[in-house]
Each structure stands twice: as C-alpha cells, then as structure tokens.
Structure 1
Amino acid sequence: MPAPTALQRKPEDLAQDVAIDSAPVPELNIPQEPLPTEIDISTEDQTQISTHTLQQDDQAQQEDTSMQIDSEGRPHFPPSTDTILSSPSSLAPTLATKIQSRKVPIPPHRLTPLKSAWPKIYPPLVEHLKLQVRMNVKSKAVELRTSRFTTTTDSLQKGEDFIRAFTLGFDVDDAIALLRLDDLYIETFEIKDVKTLNGEHLSRAIGRIAGKDGKTKFAIENTSKTRVVLADSKIHILGGFQNIRIAREAVVSLILGAPPGKVYGNLRTVAGRMKERF
C-alpha cells in the first residue's frame, strides 16, 4: 500500500511515460579511431628535469654577467646583446641617437644676425655634433634633431646652449667654445637684481659698466677671461665658474657706484693672484 503522502498520478500520465521510455534511440554513426598499441611511459623523475633546467639557466646567466680577467689583470666582459647599446651604424636607434628634437626661439632683433652668420653656425652642429639642424623662418626658431649618426648623449643639449648663447648676443666664435669645452656656463642677471635704479641712474650704471668706448667692459673680460654682453638692463656673462664670479663682482661694484679706478685696482689684484695660482 503506498504511503499516504506519495503523489498520485493519473493512469493516462503513466501510459505516456511508458511510451516515451520505450521509444527507440537513433544510432549515431561516429567514426572510432583505433586504440594505440604502444604507449610511451616516461620513468624519468620530473624533479630531476626541472632541477637540470634551472641549473642550465643559472649557468647561462652567470656566463652573461661573469667578469673575466685577462693576463694583464684587466676585466673583460662579453659583448652586449642589447640593441639600445648597439653601434651607431646599425639601423636600430641607439641610446645616444634616440630621435629627439629641440626648438630654440630666436628674438626679433637677432634674426638678421642669425641669417648673416648662418654659414658659420650650422657646420659645427652638423660636422662636430652630428645633428640635423634647420632655420625655420616662419616660426622664427632654430630646430635641432638627433639622428642615428649622433654619437654622444649630450650633443643635443650642447647644440641648444650654442644657439641660445648666440641669441643672447655673444659672438659665434665665443659661442663655439661651449661645444668644445665642458666647464663653460652662462649667467644672466639684471641691474635691478643688484639695486633698484630708474631713469638716468640706470643709464649711468650701464655707462659705468661699459666705460668709454667699452674699455671697462673689455678690461673685465680680459682680466677674468670671460665674455660680457650688455643687453639693455640685462647682463650675460660667459665663462668658467670661478671666472664668472670674478666678473660678476666687478660688475656689481660698478652698479653700486664704485669708481672705475677702484674696480681696475681690484681686477689688477685678482689677475696677479690668478697668475700665481697657475
């Protein structure tokens, strides 16, 4: 006797279920592949394989980074396989010749001198620094770019400093020294940074720095071995670090009102000390 809680179904439902269960199942024609007769079973320990592979990798890494010493005691490293440090003659860009560009704007009052001195400006940039350079008249700028023939990483910066020195008013021959020497700098300051002067007081200060026919400025340049440019109220000094300090002290003294004779005496003393030092 069925349990009182069991579900009861109608006789017609039972007949339908029996008909569905007794229906023939269609056969599917699936091609069967023959079973392999031989099975390769590897008996080598997997831990030994992984250990051997790690040892080979460590040995290859040590060969790449190991330092070998020749008979004279100098270290010898294997050649680098990195494309970044490859030779400049290769087509791939090197670390020094990664394509970079700079644009140096030219003031309006220096455009005409730039055009006249252009035959003397671009040969050092192209032949010495191996840069690509052009004068963009429309945008009033000089554009510099490295190429795969550039050999040093600081060529672009040197070229930019050279062009900027010319735009500040320095002569081409003096600006070329920035390309040949590494310890040259340019310092710029204004007269109002030293003392606030206006009107005729500012004009007299500029006159004291220049001197009659530029004699005072030439004396400062020859004594301190620098180059000084007076551009209105701005003063640009090109030279070494110590030499710039000597020239700056002389210019500051003239701005503050010191007589040129006293400045000449101080410069004479400094020149004597520099000769004794060297």
Structure 2
Amino acid sequence: MPAPTALLSKEASVPADHKLKSSSPGDHDLILDMDATPSFQSIPDTNQSAASTVHIQTRKVNIPPHRFSPVKAMWPKIYAPLVEHLHLQVRMNLKNKAVELRNSQFTTEPGALQKGEDFIRAITYGFDVDDAIALLRLDDLYMEVFEIKDIKNLQGDHLARAIGRCVGKDGRTRNAIENTTRTRIVVAGPKIHILGGFNDLKMAREAIVSLVLGARPSKVYQDLRCIAAKRKMRV
C-alpha cells in the first residue's frame, strides 16, 4: 500500500493542461460568469406596456343652449359618478359648450364610454341626475325621444292642447304614467323623452300616443289602473 505522501505527489504531477481539458459541460461544477450578468434595462416595464396597449377613445356630447346653465350648476354631481364608478376622464369644454369623455387604462368595463355618453345625454334632455345615474348602474334601461308631430301633425293651438293633455293639470297625468309604468318622462315642448325599461317604455309610449290622438284622460287612467293591477297580481 503506498504512502499518503505518494498519492499527493502523484496528483500534483498531473499537468495543468490535462485538468482544463477534462472539464466538460457534463461536470457537476457550477461556473458563474460575472461578466455575463443581464442588464436590468433589457427587462420590459409591464406597466408601460399595459398602458401602451390601451385603445383610447373619446366621445363628445354637445349641450343645448337652454341646458348649459343647469348642467354647469350641476357639474359637481355629474362628473363624480363618471370618474368614480366608470373610471372615465371627463371635462366640460366651456368654449365649445360640450362635455368630452375619454377612457383610460383604469377603465375596466367594456361599455363604460357608451354609458357615460347616455348619462350626459339624459341630463341634457332634462332628467334629474339621480334618475340618470340608473343608466350607469343598470344595463336594461333605455331612452326614447320622439315628437308629437311624429304621432299626429298638429300645429298652433292643437299642438299646445296635445302637450297639455300629456302633462295634465299640475303634472298629474305625467306623474300617473310615470308611477304606473315605472318610467321617467320629460315633456320639453313638442319633444317627449322617456327613460325606463323596454316594456315600460312601450306602455308609457302607448299612453302618450292615446292622449295625443284625443283619448280622454279618464280612459287613459283606467288603462293605467288595469296595468297596475296586473302587475300586483304578478308579484
């Protein structure tokens, strides 16, 4: 048996070139190349890449002259739900008298821009902010706009009487239609705006058409009472 000193001398006698040649990728030694460390500048920024992929869209809603002052007075109540609920960017252009909407990287709802436009248009039509907010929270609400001339070509005093029949004394007829059909109605001269569900819009429109064509308010009230009774039975 050779002495330990002989083994050491034999291992030391191995040439240095032979040790370098014997190292191969299959060895279990881990070699780190400090000069080949990756640079942090080559790593893409996920936040910037996500922001760059957002397709920015804009909408513009013109404000009628007779509604500019009310919309300006209610502006703090108008922009708050658009920013907080839909995460839209909104501003009021005083020069062009219009409301401009734009989506952002924080806008997650696909139809947020269209809902915001409908919300602004409802306010320009004359609806209250509290009633128009329902357009932002519910998906099955719609607006319908038509003129009395679309039902019957009336002019002068005949048109004024038709408008009076739709509104009623102190707004009783309009309130009766709203409460029965669960809608909101704005009578702005010869134009009529209705806000509500699809079936509710249909019933409210039929009641208004009957009044414009000359039906007695008592007959319309009777039809509305029948509709209210049927609804209670369904519940």
Q: 1:239 aligns with which of 196, 216, 232?
A: 196
Question: Quick check: 1:168 aligned with 2:125?
Answer: yes
Which amino acid counterpart does residue 92 of structure 1 have in structure 2? A
CA distance in 2 between counterparts of 1:94 and 1:114 reads: 34
Number of residues paired by the alignment?
190
CA distance in 2 between counterparts of 1:150 and 1:98 reads: 11
Residue pair 1:93, 1:99 contacting (<8 A) in 2 also? no
CA gap of 1:136–1:272, structure 2 versus 1, over 3 A, is same
Residue pair 1:221, 1:247 contacting (<8 A) in 2 also? yes
Give the match's secondary structure for 2:50: coil
Question: Quick check: 1:230 aligned with 2:187?
Answer: yes
Which amino acid counterpart does residue 255 of structure 1 have in structure 2? V
CA distance in 2 between counterparts of 1:93 and 1:161 reads: 26
Which amino acid counterpart does residue 162 of structure 1 have in structure 2? F
CA gap of 1:90–1:170, structure 2 versus 1, over 3 A, is same
C-alpha displacement at 1:136, in angstroms? 0.2
The match for 1:109 is: 66
The CA deviation string for residues 49-99 of structure 1, in whole angstroms up to 9 with x for no partner, is xxxxxxxxxxxxxxxxxxxxxxxxxxxxxxxxxxxxxx9x6642487x421
> With structure 1 as the length reference, what TM-score do the two structures score?
0.66
CA distance in 2 between counterparts of 1:91 and 1:213 reads: 59
The match for 2:226 is: 269
Which amino acid counterpart does residue 135 of structure 2 have in structure 1? L
C-alpha displacement at 1:141, in angstroms? 0.4
Give the match's secondary structure for 1:273: helix
CA gap of 1:94–1:205, structure 2 versus 1, over 3 A, is farther
CA distance in 2 between counterparts of 1:131 and 1:172 reads: 17
Question: Quick check: 1:92 aligned with 2:46?
Answer: no
Give the match's secondary structure for 2:187: strand
The CA deviation string for residues 138-172 of structure 1, in whole angstroms up to 9 with x for no partner, is 01100001111111111111000000110111111
> With structure 2 as the length reference, what TM-score do the two structures score?
0.78
RMSD (CA atoms): 1.4
Give the match's secondary structure for 1:182: coil
Q: Percent same amino acid at aligned positions?
A: 66
CA distance in 2 between counterparts of 1:162 and 1:125 reads: 9
Which amino acid counterpart does residue 153 of structure 2 have in structure 1? T
CA distance in 2 between counterparts of 1:219 and 1:91 reads: 55
Larger relative contact order (C-alpha < 8 A, sep ≥ 6)? 2
The match for 2:151 is: 194
- Gaps (5+ residues) in structure 1? 1-86
CA distance in 2 between counterparts of 1:91 and 1:115 reads: 37
- Gaps (5+ residues) in structure 2? 1-45
Question: Quick check: 1:127 aligned with 2:79?
Answer: no
